[in-house]
Amino acid sequence: MKAVITVLGKDQIGILARVSGLCAEMGVNVEEVTQNILGGTFAMIMLVDVSKCTVEYPQLVKRLEESGREHGMDIHITRQELFEAMHRI
């Protein structure tokens, strides 16, 4: 089961390490990462595999969102199928 983690906010040191560390802690495998800075806003997108996730999915969502709030970032995790449904014909 694939999901997409999006991290949006002000650029700061250690974002990638923090989010991927959290993923590793919960058995989420990071498969691809893309990031760029658009007008000072940091945008990182990670494609992850959550099939071996060690916590319940709602717990994963909560942990990521909380971590985002703690560091002033907007972190969302969304199943890949949503983007495929909306953007592919």
Residues of the shown chain interacting with another protein in the complex, contacts defined by CB under 8 A: 4, 6, 8, 32, 34, 36, 43, 45, 47, 57-58, 61, 74, 76-87
Report, in Å, the least distance between residue 24 CB and another protein. 20
Q: How far is the CB of 21 from another protein (least distance, A)?
A: 22
Cβ proximity to another protein, 71 vs 79, nearer residue:
79
User: Given phi > 0 = left and psi -120 to 50 = alpha, else beta, which region is 25?
Assistant: alpha
The strands making up 73-79's β-sheet, listed across from edge to edge, are: 29-38, 41-49, 2-10, 73-79
